[in-house]
Amino acid sequence: MASITVNEAAELVGRSRRTLYRDMRRGNLSFTTRRDGHRQIETSELERWYGALKMPEPGTPSRDSGTASDDALIAEIRALREELAGLREEVAHLRRLPAPAPPQATPALEPNSHPFADEMAALRAKQHKE
């Protein structure tokens, strides 16, 4: 029978890669290791442990094929990178500006002082003089 990768095996049995690795670790599922360290599983071993394999429907794109959604994601990533670059330039520009002047201290009011009441009293006094 054919020897396949863990990703392909996960698709054929309808389980996650994590499940397959757990079953391999427990000794339930036999595998071989290639020279590059990747694991290979015989399809007959998958059928022995998980039962009949789920064959992909013809015409169904696999995860590895480029799709329109991949193109949209790539375009969005590019747009976000451009926006990030623009924001970084703006931050650099703002850092070069002089520091703002400290706020002016407002004169402290005397206790029991009411500026509006004092202003009204001054206006009344001026009207009485006239």
pLDDT single digits (tens) 76-97: 888 988 998 899 999 999 989 8
**pTM: predicted TM-score of the whole model, two decimal places:** 0.43
pLDDT single digits (tens) 38-54: 899 998 888 888 888 88
pLDDT value of residue 103: 81
Q: Using an 8 Å Cβ cutoff, are 80 and 70 in contact? A: no
Q: Considering only CA atoms, which of 51, 59, 58, 43 is closest in space to residue 9? A: 43
